[in-house]
Structures are given as structure tokens and as C-alpha cells.
A and B are shown apart, each in its own frame.
Chain A
Amino acid sequence: MELEKELAYFNVHREELISHYEGQFALIKGESHLGSFTTEAEAYEEGLKQLGNQPFLIKKITREEETDRAPALVLGLINAHL
């Protein structure tokens, strides 16, 4: 899956990043930390500026891993065929 390498880098360096930038958003490409930013939008703009329109990781620097929920996707509740 695209960005797995960047995610692995983040996980290896998570504690180090937390010690300096907790709560900010890290911009990572490959195995390089390109900066940390106050908002996700700022990180995206900087990523576009430095790298252009290509995949890069923006990850909130926290200990907790956030999960998302979308139960209707599988329950078929949005499956409307006429």
C-alpha cells in the first residue's frame, strides 16, 4: 500500500518526534522528515511546494492511533438499487 514506507518511518521515530513536536503534523517522504506544522493544511501546502503533486505522508504526532468508523459501508445501508 502506498505510504507504508513513510508510515513505518514515522512509527520508528515516533517517540523522537513526540519529544520535539507533539501535537503537530509531520511531513514525511520516504525516510525523510521534511518538517512539522501546526495544521494539516499547512503541511499539505509545504509538501506540494517541496515535492509537487505526489504522495507524501502527513501524520499527527501523538502516541494515540486514531481510527475512523463508517459502519454503513459494509452493512449495505447505502446500497440503494432501483
Chain B
Amino acid sequence: MPIYNGEFRTQEGQPGPGGLLRFGPILPIEVAIPSALSKLLASQNENIPPPVSGIGLIDTGATRSCVDTGVISKLGVNPIGITALITASGQSQHHLYPAKFNFPAIKFEAEFSSIAGVNLSRQSIAGKQIIALIGRDLLSRCLFIYNGPKGSFSIAL
């Protein structure tokens, strides 16, 4: 079972809660087209768009994983549904897309039948854009440990 260990340290190099408190449990992620679409494009001798790299945020508040609409559109993936997404400001309609998340640090892939497209374009950390929220659909298959005082977390996928 692949395990990703995330840790934030203070400027003095000591474990501490600050980074995790500020940024949340984040990890490198790639958003890729679904395998079924890759197969179709390959069979048609069409180019398969390369995955888009960025940051994924583990979001235990999200029932369903989400992807930035700009990223999924850039990959050429078309919507397959519409969902009503409830946020703190009310309910809004969002497209659903099939997609694949790659976690390069632990060489793990997660295929999704449908995730919600949302606008994450203004969400960035140290110049890297958050391109995906890892919701409870994926977390339902994971062990996730959040150590606030030490500023670390582990996720076994």
C-alpha cells in the first residue's frame, strides 16, 4: 500500500503546526485524461495530452473530489454530468468529468468515474496552483492520519 508522508517544518528545521495549519494537507498531483479516453485516442492515432501537474489538497469537507475546470478543459475531457454542489454560500450547478489522478511521489493512480469541475484558478501555494481537491470519495479507500501539533500527515492509498 503506497504511503505519502507530508511534513512542514519551522524555519529552524523543527516540526511544528504552522505550515499544516496554513496550507492544509497538500501533495503533488497530476491530473490526466481517463484511461478509456486514452485508449480511444490511441486507437485513432491521435495525440494523448500529457498530464497537468500541480498541487492536490486533501479536503475532508468535500463529498466528491474536484478538479479545476481550466485543467480538465485543457486536457480535452468532455463533461458527462451535472451535479448540484452545496457550498457555504449556497447551491450551484457544476459539470462532472471522468478523470485520473496520478500521485507521482508514490507512483499511485486513482481513476474516477466522475469528479466535479470547479474554479480553482486563484488557489495557489508558493506559485504552484491547486488543481485538485481530494474528497471523501477517494478518502473512503484510504487511511489518513493528521498530526496537527507536529505539522505532518500521512495518507495510505
Q: Does B142 sit within 8 A of A, measured CB to CB?
A: no
A67-B80 contact, Cβ under 8 Å, with A48-B40, A80-B22: no
**B80:A69 contact, CB within 8 angstroms:** no
Residues of A within 8 A of B (CB-CB), count: 38
**B41:A53 contact, CB within 8 angstroms:** yes
In the assembled complex, the Cα of A73 lies from the Cα of B67 at a distance in Å of: 12
A69-B40 contact, Cβ under 8 Å, with A39-B113, A78-B24, A80-B23: no
A70-B85 contact, Cβ under 8 Å, with A44-B98, A52-B40, A53-B41: yes
**A1:B93 contact, CB within 8 angstroms:** yes
A-B contact count (CB 8 A): 124
Q: Does A15 sit within 8 A of B, measured CB to CB?
A: no
Q: Does B143 sit within 8 A of A, measured CB to CB?
A: no
**A73:B87 contact, CB within 8 angstroms:** yes
Q: Does B154 sit within 8 A of A, measured CB to CB?
A: no
In the assembled complex, the Cα of A1 lies from the Cα of B81 at a distance in Å of: 11
Q: Does B114 sit within 8 A of A, measured CB to CB?
A: yes
User: When each residue 15-43 of chain A gets 1 if its CB lies under 8 Å from chain B and 0 otherwise, what string results?
Assistant: 00000000000000000000000011100
Interface residues, chain A, CB within 8 Å of chain B?
A: 1-4, 7, 39-41, 44-45, 47-49, 52-59, 65-75, 77-82
Give me the 9 closest cross-chain CB pairs, A-B, nearest first: A40-B113, A74-B87, A70-B62, A74-B88, A55-B78, A74-B89, A68-B64, A67-B84, A58-B80
